Amino acid sequence: MTDQPLPADNLSVRAAEPTSGERSRLVERCLRHKTSLLAIWIGVTVLSFVAIGWHLRGNHPLIDNSVGIWFMDDDPDLRAYDKFQTEFGEKEWTVLLLHTRSIYDAGFLRDLAAVTDRLARVEHVAKVLSLTNVRDSRSDGDGVVEYTRLYPATDSADVLTATELEEFKARVRANPILVNSLYRESDDTTTVVLFKNDNLIHEGSPYRIHLVDAVNEILGQYPSIARHSMAGSTVINAELNRASQRDVIVFYVLVSLFIGAGGYLLLRNIKDLFVLLVVVTTSAIVPMGVIALFAIPYNMVTVMLPPFLITLSVCDVIHVVNWFHYERMFRPATEAVIVAVGKIWTACLSTSAITIVGLLSLVASTVHPISQLGAFAALGIFVAWLVTMTLVPILLTMIWNGPERSAGTASGTAKGFGTYGHRLLPYLSGRYRLLWLGAAAAMLYTVAGLSRVEVDTDYTKFFGRGTSVTQSYSDIQQSGFGQNPVSIVLRYPEGTTFATGDYFRRLIEFEKAVGDIPVVVKLLSLTQIVGRIDMAFNGDHDAGRIAGYSEQQLSQLLFLGELSGNDDVDDFLVGDKRTLQVMALTPYMSSKQLGEFKQQIRDAASRTLPHDVGVDITGTAVLWANMDEQISHTEVSSIWIITSVFLVVMPVMFRSFKLGTVGFVINALPLVIVFGLMGLLDVKINMATALIGGVAIGATADSTLFFINAVRRGFSAGMSWQDAVDHGVATVGDGIVMTSLVLAGGFACLATSSFLPTAQFGALVTAAVLLSLFLDIIINPIILGLVGPPADPIALPVAGGEEAL
C-alpha cells in the first residue's frame, strides 16, 4: 500500500460520525475483562481440539457417504427401501466386465474359474455368478431335475479340451437367461461377472473401499484378463468416500495457505494477520468440535464445512481491522477500537445475521447432509461474529499499544487506508459510467439461461474423466451390458401368492411389457427360472405353456427346483410367495431419465397387472434419484427464505425503501447471473450446487450492506449525496475489495475437488463473489449517484447522529 492521504472530506466528517453508546460500552466491558474473555475463548478452543482428537482416535468413521445418511429417518423412500432390503437380505448386485482375447479360450476360463472362486471368499461378497459357475436346470433322464454347473471342470486349475469347450459353448448359448447378462452373442471378447455384496445403507465403515480394492487386486493377477471395469452403487459409494478423504486434505491445506498468504498480502502486517487467523481458526474449530462431540462423520457435503467457515469468517474482522487503523490516525488504540466497532457494528451484525439466515435456510432441507451443513456453518458464522466483537478488540489493543497518530497523517499501520477505493473514484464518473453500465447490461445476457436450469443427477459423471468410475461406466455401456440394476417389487394381497388365479399369466405379460422398454438391456426374473425348470422336466421349451399353469403346478415346479438345489429362486421370491422382484438391467441413467423409466414401468403395470397388486420401484440408484425432488425443494426454499429476509432487512437497515430496493437488486443480480450461467453451461442443480442460493447470497451480502451503510452514514453526517457516495467508496472500498478477494479465493479452493458437484459449487460461488465485487464497488456507486438521495421521510438525517439513524 502506498503513502496516500485520505480525501479532506473524509477527515472533515470524522467528528460528525458519533457512535452508539451501548455498543461502545460493550467493547469497553470486553476490554476491562480481557483476561477473563481470553481465558474463555482459549478454553473453548482447547476443548474443541480435544473433542476432535477424541473423535479421530475413536472407532467412529471419519467419512461416511453411505446411502442412509442422505435421508431423514422418517423419509418414505428410505423406509420403502429398508423394507425391500429386509425382505431380500440387504444385498445389491455389482457388475464386473472382463476383457479378454476370447471368453471361450481354455486358459481364460481356467483363470475365470479361479477369479470366481476367490471373489466368493472376499469379505462382504455373498454370491458370484460367472460363466464358470452359473447353473442351469437339466434332467438326469429319469425324471429328476438337477441344477448343475454348465462349466464342466471340477477344479479351477483344470483346462478344458477342445471338445469340452465346444460342448460348454453350446450349453451356454442354449440358456437365454445368460444372453446380455453374462455374455453378448455378438462379442466373444467380453464377459460379465455379477456378484452380490452387502448393501449396509446405514453402515459408515469403509468396507466398500476395501471390497473394491480387493476385487481390483485379484483381477490384476491374471494376465488373460486384458482389463476390467466395475459398476454399481458400491463402486460409486467407494469413490465418494475416496473423494471425501482427498478433499479433506486438499481443501484444508489450500484454504489455510490461501488465507495465510492472501491475508498477509492484503493486510500487509503480521500482527493483523495473527488477529485474522485467530478468528478463522476459532470459527472453524468450534463447530468441528461440536460435530466430533456427537461423533458425526463427514460426507461429500459437510466436508466443505471448514473451508466454508475459514472463508466466510474473515469478512467482519477485515472491516474491523481496517476501521481500527483508520481511527488510530486520530486517537489511542483503546479509543480507536471502541469508535471503529461502534461505527460498523450495525453493518457487521446485519451481514452476519443475513449470512446465518442464508445458511439456516438449508436446515429445512430433507437431504440430511445439507441440513447438517446449514446448521453447523451457521453456528460457525455466529462464533466468528462473537469473536470479532469481543476478542478482536482485545487483541488489537494488546498488539497495537503504541502512541496515537496525529490527525491527517497516514503513517504506520494506518497508512494507505482507503487506497483502493480512493484510486477507483476517478473511474466512476464521466464516460466511464456508460462503459461500466454497458458491461453490467451485457452480463444480463446470461438471464436467457434461467429457463434451462434443471435438477438432475448422474453419479457416473460426478468424477473426473480420468477416474476409474467414469471410465468403467463408459466401458460397460459401450460393451452393451447393463450397469444399473433396478428392482421392481410386486406385492400380492393377503391370502394370495404370485400364482393365485391369473396372477402368474399377468406377471408374464408385465415382464414382457417392461422388457420391451428400449432402455432395458436385460430382464431377470422368477418366471425365467420357472421356465428353465419346466423345460428340464418336460423336455422341451414352450413359453406359452407355463402361462396357463395352475397355482398347484407352479408350486410343484418350485418344489422341483428346491429339490435340485436351485437357490437362485431366493433372489427373486420371498418365502411367503407374496412378494417377488423383477430386476431390470439398464444403462446408468440420470435421475431425470430414471424418473421417466419409472413412469414407463408404472404404465406397463397399469396395463398388465391387477389393480390389487402393489408395485414398488426401488434400488440404490432409484433412491438416489428420488433425492432430486428434495434437492429442488432445498434450492427453492433457501432462495425464498433469504429473499424474504432481504426484502425486510434492507429497507429497515437503510431507513429507506429506495436504498433497500437498490441493495436488494445489487445482491440478487449475482445469483441471477450465476443461475443463468448454469443453464447456458448445462450445469445441473445437484446435492452440492443446491447450496448456491443460500451460501452465495449470504457471502455477497457483506459488501452491499457495508457500502450502503457507509453512504447513509456520510449523508446523515451532513455530506452532499455524491460526496457521501464517494466517501463510502473511499472508506469501505478497501474492506470490500479485501473481503471479496478472500471469499473468491477461498471458494475457488473448492473448485479443485475431484468430485464434480463440489468443484462446480466452488467455481460458481467464486463467480458470484467476483460479480458482487464488481456490482458493489463499481455499479452500486454509479446507480446511487444516479438515483439520488432517499426521499423517504424515515431516511432524513436526525439529530443525534448514527444511533438516531
Least confident of 10-19, 263-272, 392-401: 10-19
Which range has the worst mean pLDDT, 54-58, 268-272, 756-760, 783-787?
A: 54-58
Strand order of the β-sheet with 522-524 is 522-524, 579-586, 484-491, 614-618
- b/e 26-35 (16+ beta carbons within 10 angstroms → b): bbeebbeebe
Could you tell me the CA-to-CA distances from 767 to 54, 135, 467, 613 in Å, in that order? 38, 58, 27, 52
Interatomic CA distance for residues 804 and 86, integer angstroms: 66
Position 139 scores a pLDDT of 83
pLDDT average, residue stretch 470-489: 91
For cell 482427498, the residue is 246
Rounded Cα distance between 83 and 75, Å, is 12
Contacts (Cβ under 8 Å, ≥6 apart) of 470: 460, 461, 463, 464
| Chain mean position to CA 741 | 24
Of residues 625, 594, 607, the one with CA closest to residue 511: 607
Q: Helix, strand, coil: what percent of the chain each, to 5?
A: 65, 10, 25
Helix (H, G, I), strand (E, B) or coil at 430: coil
- Residue 465's pLDDT band (cuts 50, 70, 90): confident
H helices of 228-304, where? Answer: 233-267, 270-293
Instruction: Inform me whether the pLDDT recorded for 95 exceeds 60.
Output: yes
Return the C-alpha cell found at 159.
Answer: 483346462
pLDDT surpassing 50 at residue 1: no
Our measurement of the distance from residue 239's CA atom to the centroid of its chain's CA atoms, rounded to an integer in Å, reads 14
Give the count of beta carbons closer than 10 Å to the beta carbon of residue 719: 21
For the residues 536-565, what does the mean pLDDT come to?
86
pLDDT of 61 over the 50 cut: yes
Q: What is the pLDDT of residues 275-311, one digit of tens each?
A: 999 998 999 899 999 998 888 888 888 888 888 888 8
C-alpha cell read off for 396: 488489537
| Cell numbers given for 624 | 438416489
**pLDDT value at residue 301:** 85
Dist CA 728 CA 785 (whole Å): 12
For the chain, the average pLDDT equals: 85
- Residue 56 burial by Cβ neighbours in a 10 Å radius (0-12, 13-18, 19+): exposed
Output 347 or 478, whichever has higher pLDDT: 478
Q: How many C-beta atoms lie closer than 10 Å to residue 186's C-beta?
A: 6
For residue range 360-408, what is the model confidence (pLDDT) as tens digits? 888 888 888 888 988 999 999 999 999 999 999 999 999 987 655 433 3
Please tell me the predicted confidence (pLDDT) of residue 19: 47
Please determine, for residue 25, whether its predicted confidence score (pLDDT) is greater than 80: no
* 707-754 residue pLDDT tens: 888 888 888 888 899 999 998 888 888 888 888 888 888 888 888 888
* Model confidence band, residue 21 (pLDDT cutoffs 50, 70, 90): low
Choose the most confident range, by mean pLDDT, from 55-64, 80-89, 492-501, 587-596.
Answer: 492-501
Nearest to 551 by CA among 513, 582, 492, 505: 505
Q: pLDDT at position 604, please?
A: 96
3-state SS class at 295: coil
- Give the span between the Cα atoms of 535 and 527, in whole angstroms: 12
Using the predicted structure, report yes or no on whether residue 168 has a pLDDT greater than 90.
yes
Are the C-beta atoms of 241 and 206 separated by less than 8 Å? Answer: yes
What is the H or E stretch that residue 395 is in? helix 368-399
pLDDT band of 417, cuts 50, 70, 90: low
Closest to 589 (Cα-Cα) out of 683, 457, 489, 455: 457
Q: Of 24 and 180, which is predicted with more confidence? A: 180
294: helix, strand or coil: coil
In angstroms, the Cα distances linking 535 to 180, 506, 547, 582 are: 21, 20, 13, 21
Residue 735's pLDDT is what? 82
Q: With pLDDT > 90 as the criterion, what percentage of the chain qualifies? A: 38
pLDDT at 224 over 70: yes
Per-residue pLDDT at 410 exceeds 50: no
> How high is the pLDDT of residue 366?
81
CA distances (Å), origin 471, targets 230, 231, 241, 465, 468: 9, 10, 18, 7, 5
**Per-residue pLDDT at 4:** 38
